[in-house]
Structure 1
Amino acid sequence: MTITKSRVPRFLRLTDRPTLSTKMMWVGLAITLTFILIAIFSPLFIQWGILQDPTEFLSNPIHEPPSWTHWFGTNRLGYDVFSRTLMGSVVAWKVVILATALSMAIGVPLGLVSGYLGGRLDRVLLFLMDTIYTLPGLLLSITLAFVVGRGIWNAAIALSIAYVPQYYRVVRNHTVSVKTELFIEAAQAMGASTWRVLSRYLFLNVIQSVPVLFTLNAADAILVLGGLGFLGLGLPEEVPEWGHDLRQALDALPTGIWWTAFFPGCTMTLMVVGLSLFGEGLNEFVNPKMRNE
């Protein structure tokens, strides 16, 4: 069977002139994949002795500028900034994936059930989710971090609550619009159970925007996690985390020690930009009405 050009997804056509959104998506994907590879191989490099252990205290040197021995220099405790910066991506991915997975696991089913059943349950859930949605995400995460304490799982829980309403609202609104389609009414007329309608007919038709929301929430979660770390919340101090390292570097900046803040800050910014570009570019392909051609 010959695959014609019309059968190939538009963003995979190499013969077309790439649009700005296509370039954005591919650049963002390249950056995101780079950080995924860093997160995969950094622990292995430490285990093999290629990278220094980011939690190993060094008596000397302290605040050494970037050199061949320590590419990104060392901080006030003698930690190697290069290894801590790379391992920060491992911690970021762990927290972000856990937080967004928890948000989806709660928000998607609630949105499906609420949009399909409607009635009092829908009104109550809408009021609850709108109330949570109106709260600033960072402020809500800070409050929850005080309650649940430090740790990767606790930080993920603190972040996830703020994103549940977004998944709920997207899935619920799509469910409300799709449930009036003829194929849903036909399934109901044939005696399909509520569970069968939700799982077989509705789920795949309303889930298309969730991957886009995942990438955008992941970018935001990295910033919020960095904010928690900067405030001394979220993760234990010995864990290599970009926000915590920025907080530790704050006092050294006036003395000209720039590298302890520059490299973690730039790395966190680059990862956020990559995820944002990929999410925004992907959004234009998932939602064709947003394209400007």
Structure 2
Amino acid sequence: MEPLLVTGANGLVGHAVCERLKAAGRPFTAIDIVASTADGHSVHAVDVRDVHRLYALADAEGPFGAIVHCGALSGPMLARDNPVLVHDINVTGTVNLLELARVKKTRRVVLCSSVSAYGSTPAGLDRVTEDAPLLPSTVYGASKAACEALAHGYAVQHGVDTLSLRIGWVYGPRRTTDCDLREMILAGLKGEVFRRPQGQDAMRQYVHVDDIARALLLAADVASTPRRAYNANGGSCLSVPEVAAIVKTVVPGLETDIGPGWHPDEDVQARFDLSAAERDLGYSPAVPLEEGIARYTAFLRERLRG
């Protein structure tokens, strides 16, 4: 069975991918910027910007059948005042892995792209397919669009088989960046009020991290696909108050105070169509939002007790 290389293995998505591989008994090598030995597998300290460490690892642990690239700055809220760093980690790191795959003849590279690559979707559009234009409004979103373009270029010019998943609103254990869903649950558990000056009209297509890990491995394993980028997120598209109402069924103490409109500096996006991923990858979200919220609440409650 071919071993896989998983980058960003200490993060929200990368860790879930490793856990899924471990449960299936599949061989893999995990890397992150910081080494770790937690959860029964080792994570090597390898920065994706360090080409020498990447090639040394490939020589020692490879050859890899596929690379699942989850290692990046994940979200437009990170390094907002340091766009060069966003480019350096997200774009340069991705090019290094694409080049590694080219040189080492890796079968496929799967990239974690983002719905941020779309920017705000066209007004009046009911559902967003993968053919919608990529017009990012942030450097982070632009870095993801650039990575997709580079992956496509490597595929066409150098024969490196690449697939990009446009992911959005992932939640679950190990999430550390901004997440309204997590903050709602925590507010309810602590008896506090979840407050936002804007946001009543904002839509969320939340997806549990286990679903995204499964989608990435489906993308790594599929024989072939007619396209190189796919939407991958959750099955429900709800307003922030509608999400809060579901949270309240699990955490009855939740109280909210949410102002009108969308969050400032946030892309206005319609529902993302998942039919292409279902048709070509066999992916559809399996964790309903209600179940995912209940599981996440149990995790966060234990963390508070600990």
TM over 0.5: no
TM-score range, shorter chain: under 0.3
Q: Which of the two has higher C-alpha Rg?
A: 1
**When the two structures are superposed, what TM-score results if normalisation uses the length of structure 1?**
0.26
More helix by share: 1
